[in-house]
Amino acid sequence: MDLKGILSISGYTGLFKLISQAKNSIIVESFDDKKRMPVYSTNKISPLDEIAVFTNEGEIHLRDILKNIYTKENSGETISTKSSPEELKKYFEIILPNYDKDRVYVSDIKKIINWYNQLHKHQLLKFDEEKQEETIPEDVERKEENSEKE
**Domains of the chain with bracketed CATH:** 6-47 (2.30.30.730), 51-121 (1.10.10.1650)
3-class SS at 28? Answer: strand
Residue 135 DSSP code: -
Residues 6-54: tens digit of each pLDDT: 999 998 989 999 999 988 899 999 999 999 999 998 899 999 999 999 9
**Contacts for 79 with CB less than 8 Å, ≥ 6 apart:** 87, 88, 91, 113
Alpha-carbon span 123 to 110, nearest angstrom: 20
The answer to whether 43 touches 10, Cβ cutoff 8 Å, is yes
Residues 55-84: tens digit of each pLDDT: 999 999 999 999 999 988 888 888 888 999
Alpha-carbon span 32 to 49, nearest angstrom: 20
